[in-house]
Amino acid sequence: MRRKEGNLLRKLKVGIKEKKSDYEIIIGENIIKKLKDYIEQVYKGKKVFLLSDQNVMSLYGEKITEILTDAHYDYTTFIIPPGEGSKNFDFLLKGYDLLLKEGFGRNNLLLALGGGVVGDLAGFLAATFMRGIAFVQIPTSLLAQVDSSIGGKTAVNHPLGKNLIGAFYQPELVLIDTYFLKTLDRRELVNGLAEIIKYGFIADRGLLTYLEENREAILNYDTEALGDIIYTSCKIKAKVVEEDEKEKGKRAILNFGHTIGHALEAVTDYEKYHHGEAVAVGMAAAAEISRKLSLISKEDRDYLEKMIGDYGLPVTFQYGENSTEVYERLFYDKKAKDGQLRWVLLKEPGEAYIEEELSKDIIMEVLEGLR
């Protein structure tokens, strides 16, 4: 057990070669109250642009605007409708319009308060407005806290596919407040837990043990337990991103379960599975491929399936998907290099590697087994 006592403040640094200085990830409960102190570490100005969505603002808008007002910030809010549908060119343009209308310049700061959609859109807006303005990520969903807010992937969707237009653009600071997690519904919490389980399987057996031993606390929204697993997850991701920011190689390891997961989301029109659920099925498939290749034992595969199942996530197709259709969809993935897929497979629970050569037969057999 790595459980620590008390209301801890945890800090991590992310060092990206092309960025002059490291940036910090700060994790704690109710750190939002000290927003001004944290912002002042990276920004001395008074003009800030807050991008958020209607759900987050209806829950926390009053609190946030009070914090910004008390801190004497001259702030402009840009509130988008919740959901993936807002991560598009229309809202990007609306964002540029508002930034220009309100007189924002290159030396001002953008705050992204919300889940993955808000973070990705805000990040791309920041990356491109005036060739790049500083931004701070304040992720409010578990999924955004352990994945999308870290590592600088920013994007909007194109009618032909998700996240096709984007940039690698790192924030100045990431503030992860576990206080926001209390209002997530269970399905959303579990959605983020799938990514945390992923980190355990690709890089940290100790995290898997922690997830087993503290399941009840985690599923009961215990903020200390959540703080622990968020910290460990961010640490793993930060290390990978530091080594390979632009995903030329090792960063692809973070896509464990995502090759089949993305295809599943696409064939069900992004409506049925939550991202973490599709990734959970994808991880079960990747573990089964690893077993078929005698990389891991049947017990290891069962261990992964049990972990996923115990957290209420699926390990098989849930909506009668057609295996051939899923197979074909695999090759639409923007991560397929020249039509060549990169599979993330397991050497053991806690260690993954990237494999490019897999026969169609083995993939199809595994997909058939998921039905």
Please tell me whether residue 119 binds ligand GLY under the rule CB under 6 A. no
For ligand GLY, the closer of residues 214 and 233 by Cβ is 233
Please tell me whether residue 113 binds ligand GLY under the rule CB under 6 A. no
Least CB distance to ligand GLY at residue 46 (A): 32
For ligand GLY, the closer of residues 87 and 153 by Cβ is 153
Q: Which residue is closest to ligand GLY by CB?
A: 254
Catalytic residues: 131, 153, 195, 237, 247, 251, 255, 258, 262, 275
Region near ligand GLY per CB under 6 A, out of 46-54, 137-145, 146-154, 320-328: 146-154
How far, in Å, CA of 101 to CA of 76, rounded? 10
Among positions 28, 95, 151, 261, the unique one binding ligand GLY when judged by CB under 6 A = 151
> Do residues 175 and 24 lie in contact, with contact meaning Cβ atoms separated by under 8 Å?
no
Among positions 153, 275, 291, 329, the unique one binding ligand GLY when judged by CB under 6 A = 153
Please tell me whether residue 147 binds ligand GLY under the rule CB under 6 A. yes
How far, in Å, CA of 297 to CA of 310, rounded? 20
Please tell me whether residue 111 binds ligand GLY under the rule CB under 6 A. no
Q: Residue 286 to residues 35, 192, 297, 312, 348: CA-CA distances in angstroms?
A: 41, 19, 13, 19, 12
Among positions 14, 16, 144, 254, the unique one binding ligand GLY when judged by CB under 6 A = 254
Closest by CA to 223, choosing from 198, 189, 200, is 189
> Do residues 112 and 118 lie in contact, with contact meaning Cβ atoms separated by under 8 Å?
yes
> Do residues 210 and 228 lie in contact, with contact meaning Cβ atoms separated by under 8 Å?
yes
How far, in Å, CA of 313 to CA of 362, rounded? 24
Please tell me whether residue 275 binds ligand GLY under the rule CB under 6 A. no
Among positions 251, 262, 274, 291, the unique one binding ligand GLY when judged by CB under 6 A = 251
8-state DSSP, 9: -
> Do residues 343 and 354 lie in contact, with contact meaning Cβ atoms separated by under 8 Å?
yes
Which stretches of the chain bind ligand GLY, using CB under 6 A? 147, 151, 153, 251, 254
